């Protein structure tokens, strides 16, 4: 799910364009009065260049990155359409174990789509995965922004495609398979709202997303494990973990009106934008929960011994970027 899943034989040739070339540490030979100003200008230029490279600003103009984002867009569209279709069809089918069947089908579908676009973009298809990859330094901030925008656009297209093929009754009953915390149902004394509380739903999003990152995405990020196991095995593990977490979240709560853990803000955004209504109730939880989990995952990677985490990629994690920003501000104030 990360870009280092494919086996890379020559890391230097692949990532050389992303590495920051060090600025000269030896000041130029200049005169005493004008030399200090020239050296200061040179230092500021060096700091600014380094920061822009750390942010990966050149990737905004990279055709390769935009082509990869197209794969993210199409992959997320197919993913949202397939996933929401599975949710609807499983509960429409007369079976005693709809949640188990739904979770199994989600695991298989997730695996297939991830394998399909992995060679092109790394198959993130999830703002949470992209954010985690950016925080640990696998991809640049610029690429992360492009990917997340593409994923959100793809989710909207997937929801629109689903809306075009289902009946209005199915759309109303299942809310396009979107992420819901609660629904309004008829009660003895009028309509009542049933579902899951905001705090409980937030904790589920945080915990399940962290487990996804820790138990599955971690393997994809660590090039040693990814190369040893192979792309298909790594992605299959991710699919299985996603299916298990969906099953656990829907079974553990057993609350009508709660659609289960999202773990993917884009997947929740698509149906919300297309369908609207109660899908916006507590929608922030499906963004805040995964974001908090990504930060927790990043802190975990910083706290463990570095020899236990081997990731190839952009090489500039979030803390290094913050240091560069502060250094740039300090240089401008002088």
28, burial (CB in 10 Å: exposed 0-12, middle 13-18, buried 19+): exposed
pLDDT in tens, the chain (334 residues): 444 443 333 333 333 344 444 454 444 444 444 555 554 555 555 555 577 777 788 888 889 999 999 999 999 999 999 999 998 888 888 788 888 999 999 999 999 999 999 999 988 999 999 999 999 888 888 999 999 999 999 999 999 999 999 888 888 878 888 888 887 666 677 667 778 888 999 999 999 999 999 988 888 888 888 888 899 999 999 999 999 999 998 887 767 878 888 999 999 999 999 998 888 989 999 999 999 999 999 999 888 876 666 666 556 777 777 777 776 666 566 5
For the chain, what are the domain ranges?
44-333
229, burial (CB in 10 Å: exposed 0-12, middle 13-18, buried 19+): middle
- First vs last C-alpha separation in the chain: 43
Question: Which residue in this structure is represented by tokens 């004394």?
Answer: 189
The reported pLDDT for the residue numbered 242 is 94
* DSSP codes of every residue in 261-287: ----HHHHHHHHHHH-GGGGTTTTHHH
Classify 21 as helix, strand or coil.
Answer: coil
- Classified by CATH at the fold level, domain 44-333 comes out as Glycerol uptake facilitator protein (1.20.1080)
Total Cβ atoms within 10 A of residue 154: 27
- Bridge partner residues of 190 (DSSP): 187
133 neighbors 2 (Cβ within 8 angstroms): yes
User: And the tokens for 318?
Assistant: 């979030």
- Bridge partner residues of 121 (DSSP): none
* DSSP codes of every residue in 242-258: HHHHHHHHHHHH--TT-
Between CA 117 and CA 8 the distance in angstroms is 17
Total Cβ atoms within 10 A of residue 231: 18
């Amino acid at each position: 799910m990360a870009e280092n899943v494919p086996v890379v034989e020559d890391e230097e040739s692949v990532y050389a364009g992303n590495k920051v070339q060090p600025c000269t540490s030896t000041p130029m030979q200049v005169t005493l009065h004008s030399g200090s100003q020239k050296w200061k200008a040179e230092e500021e230029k060096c700091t600014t260049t380094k920061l822009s490279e750390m942010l990966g600003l050149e990737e905004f103009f990279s055709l390769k990155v935009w082509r990869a984002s197209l794969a993210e867009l199409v992959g997320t569209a197919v993913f949202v359409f397939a996933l929401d279709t599975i949710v609807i069809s499983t509960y429409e089918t007369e079976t005693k174990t709809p949640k188990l069947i739904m979770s199994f089908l989600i695991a298989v579908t997730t695996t297939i789509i991830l394998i399909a676009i992995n060679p092109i973009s790394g198959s993130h298809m999830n703002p949470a995965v992209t954010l985690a990859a950016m925080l640990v330094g696998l991809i640049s901030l610029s690429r992360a922004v492009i990917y997340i925008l593409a994923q959100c656009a793809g989710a909207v297209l997937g929801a629109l495609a689903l809306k075009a093929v289902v009946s209005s009754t199915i759309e109303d009953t299942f809310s396009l398979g979107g992420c819901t915390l609660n629904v309004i149902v008829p009660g003895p004394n009028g309509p009542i709202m049933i579902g899951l509380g905001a705090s409980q739903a937030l904790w589920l999003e945080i915990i399940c997303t962290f487990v996804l990152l820790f138990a599955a995405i971690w393997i994809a990020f660590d090039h040693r494990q990814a190369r040893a196991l192979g792309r298909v095995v790594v992605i299959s593990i991710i699919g299985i973990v996603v299916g298990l977490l969906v099953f656990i979240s829907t079974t553990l709560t057993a609350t009508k009106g709660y659609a289960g853990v999202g773990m993917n803000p884009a997947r929740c955004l698509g149906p919300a934008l297309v369908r609207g209504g109660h899908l916006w109730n507590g929608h922030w939880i499906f963004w805040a929960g995964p974001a908090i989990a990504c930060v927790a995952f990043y802190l975990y990677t910083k706290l463990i011994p570095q020899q236990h985490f081997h990731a190839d990629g952009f090489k500039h994690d979030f803390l290094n970027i913050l240091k560069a920003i502060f250094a740039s501000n300090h240089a401008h104030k002088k």
